[in-house]
Amino acid sequence: MDFGVDDDDEVYTSEADEADVGTFTAEKTRSDYEVDFRVLDAHDIRTMQHDRARQVADILGISTEHSAILLRYFKWNKEELIERYMDGPETVLQKAGVITDDSTAPRVMPAPAGFCCDICCDDEPGLESLALRCAHRFCRSCYEDYLRKKVVNDGESRRIQCPATHCSVIVDERTVERLVPAAVYTRYQMLLTRTFVDDSPQLRWCPAPSCEYVVKCDVPQAALRTVVPTVQCRCGTTFCHGCGLEDHLPCICELVKLWLRKCADDSETSNWIQANTKECIKCHSTIEKNGGCNHMTCRKCHHEFCWVCLGPWSEHGTNWYNCNRFDESSSKDARDSQARSRQQLERYLHYYNRYANHDQSARLDKELHTRTEKKMEEMQRTSSLSWIEVQFLRVAVDKLYECRMTLKWTYAFAYYLTRDNQTALFEDNQRDLEMAVEALSELLEKPIDPTHIKELKQDVLNKTSYVAKRRETLLEDTARGLMEERWKYQVTL
């Protein structure tokens, strides 16, 4: 998926940026489901603002301070600003609150004779004062206090207007810097940075708590029906740049929103389906799931079954595996409205059950990290493997979690797909990944046999590699289907 990078971006691309985790180079062959993106810090964002303001200033023949005010008025849409300005510069300047007369540039100076500040009513001779190009003059102390309250108390930065009543002239950045203390100006710049990111569709804050990085991705909103723009911040957080939610490959943003809304609406059903216990289908003993693996063994009767579909586990590693598919044949008997409603509920529960199960399993697999640490220490004690050599367990757990999250969203995607040959192929890939994930999950939860550590390592490495390949196959095929518009949905987007 190739979306071009603006010419503006060349200004703030550095060698450090090229080495960043989010920048793809020619050395990496990008998959169909991957997109170009760049991770930026506060300095990069300020550089972007200054460069864009300088470019517009050069084109329109105005100062950088004025071009910045105009850009903020147009939410940094450079093309729209230039087009509107060329059609009627006076109208644009007036609406944006800009006066370009340099002869009346704002500067701190002694108040003229007969001056009285309209805010504090101080008329002391020689009082320091300042007026914007609108000529509304106030004493420096009142102006500073006004700006401080706007920045610190109101969190305002984009469009701080002249203190005079009904005056729409905007205080420029240089004037703010001249009047307020350094700490207030720092906050002012931070607020400007935040508004710049919020106004720029190519930029999005990393959703991780306390993370201050921004990710730039040039996938337009119009392309979100054919692309899932998954990005990774420098802090390691992976998320969707299109909607800001967690990584939901391979499901597109619109379907994710529909699915989450449906799950929220069917809250009672969700509460029921999320129950942590089920009964053994053979002896009816209550069983609680305490791990990510779906291979259940009843401690009472030793019956082995699948937690998801409650079917015999013996069928889940063979061609008889059919746990991921919904049986559409039952809909043929749904002749009246009540039967159709029941059949629709059963269909929803089929997909939600598997969606919620993989979500729960992913959380449990994440907790597997703690147990894995102990296994790694045990392997070091009972074998000749070093700490580096036992890292394959951590890699396997990370890959298992990643694949669980992918499988989780495949069920949300499959719920909205129209039944056809393409859907059958998707479910084949889904089934293959699910079988591989369950095999790896079961292997990782087994206790370590000190006499077979080398065999265990090779088995884990092989299954981790296979799981990664199955995930790649599923995501590649789904991404190509999105680009080729092969997928047909049961809802209108």
pLDDT score of 195: 93
Q: What is the token pair recorded at 62?
A: 């105005």
Report the alpha-carbon distance of residue 453 to residue 445 in Å, rounded: 14
pLDDT score of 9: 46
Closest CA to 427 of 439, 441, 415: 415
Residue 80, SS3? Answer: helix
Strand partners, 139: 129
Estimate to the nearest angstrom the gap between the alpha carbon of 329 and the chain centroid. 38
pLDDT score of 390: 82
Residue 318, SS3? Answer: coil
Report the alpha-carbon distance of residue 150 to residue 156 in Å, rounded: 5
pLDDT score of 269: 52
User: Which structural domains are found in the chain, ordered by start?
Assistant: 102-180 (3.30.40.10), 253-483 (1.20.120.1750)
Residues 6 or more apart whose Cβ sits within 8 Å of residue 79:
none
Q: What is the token pair recorded at 4?
A: 């071009």
Residues 6 or more apart whose Cβ sits within 8 Å of residue 372:
393, 394, 397, 444
Report the alpha-carbon distance of residue 369 to residue 391 in Å, rounded: 12
Report the alpha-carbon distance of residue 318 to residue 323 in Å, rounded: 11
Identify whether the C-beta of residue 201 lies closer than 8 Å to the C-beta of residue 6. no
pLDDT score of 266: 60
pLDDT in tens, the chain (493 residues): 444 444 444 333 333 333 333 443 334 578 899 999 999 999 999 999 999 999 999 999 999 999 999 999 999 999 999 999 999 999 999 999 999 887 778 888 888 888 898 888 888 877 889 999 998 999 999 999 999 999 999 999 999 999 998 999 999 999 999 999 999 999 999 999 999 999 999 999 999 998 999 999 999 999 999 999 999 999 999 999 999 999 999 999 999 999 999 888 765 454 444 445 577 878 777 676 667 778 888 877 878 888 777 788 877 766 556 677 776 655 545 445 556 666 787 888 899 989 999 998 888 866 777 778 777 877 777 777 788 888 888 899 999 999 999 999 999 999 999 999 999 999 999 999 999 999 999 888 888 777 788 888 899 999 999 999 999 999 999 999 999 999 999 999 8
Annotation marks residue 263 as catalytic: no
Catalytic residue among 162, 240, 253, 293: 293
Q: What is the token pair recorded at 74?
A: 């147009």
Report the alpha-carbon distance of residue 472 to residue 465 in Å, rounded: 11
Determine the length of the chain: 493
Report the alpha-carbon distance of residue 52 to residue 127 in Å, rounded: 38
pLDDT score of 26: 37
